[in-house]
Structure 1
Amino acid sequence: MDAAIHADVTLDCSGLKCPMPVLRAAKALRGMIAGQVLSVTATDKAAPKDFQTFCAEGGHILIATDVLGDTPQGQLVRFTIRRGG
């Protein structure tokens, strides 16, 4: 994630399987205001495609998708999402 982008809320969904990372992100975003940034980490293999679809359909902006490394649960990926209006 760009150092200039500050996450207002962070969410660790490591070890959770589809659809839980997206469902938890959706719940977190409902409690945020437009323009705020959510950072989600997840290990589910389906998460990259799921978050792309979720953001496109929900009016949110997927700012970045960063691979952080490998864990015993799988590859750890961080999704940086700006809440839409």
Structure 2
Amino acid sequence: MTSASTPIPVTVDREIDTRGLRCPLPILKAKRSLNDMASGQLLRVISTDPGSLRDFEAFARQTGNELVEQQTQGDEFVHVLRRR
């Protein structure tokens, strides 16, 4: 997993915008999106909830999906998950 302030280009299969939503909504929206994706596909989630950093780490551990990348970009948090 990468944690950096400089974006690393990653080609994703789907992106969801959860800006303005608080826990647990970003996780629930990510779970719904991942359920509709094929194994190995990448999902990018953009969030403004600071708690999403630890939430997505826990979500990945609990579900077996891979947290490929997490970044802080100003007031936004970007998470990239690979569907198991």
The TM-score normalised by the length of structure 1 is: 0.87
Work out whether residues 44 and 81 of structure 2, in 8 Å CA contact, stay in contact via their aligned partners in 1.
yes
Do residues 2 (structure 1) and 3 (structure 2) align? no
Deviations 1:13-68 (A, max 9, x none): 00001100000000000000110000000011210111000011101010110111
Do residues 39 (structure 1) and 44 (structure 2) align? yes
**Where does structure 1 lack aligned partners over 5 or more consecutive residues?**
70-74
Report the residue type matching 2:8 in the other structure: D
The TM-score normalised by the length of structure 2 is: 0.88
Aligned length: 78
Measure the CA separation in 2 of the matches of 1:62 and 1:78.
11
Q: CA RMSD in A?
A: 1.0
Measure the CA separation in 2 of the matches of 1:36 and 1:6.
10
Aligned equivalent of 1:53, options 48, 58, 71: 58
Q: What secondary structure does 1:15 align onto?
A: coil
> What corresponds to 2:79 in structure 1?
79
Structure 1: 4+ residue segments shifted above 4 A: none
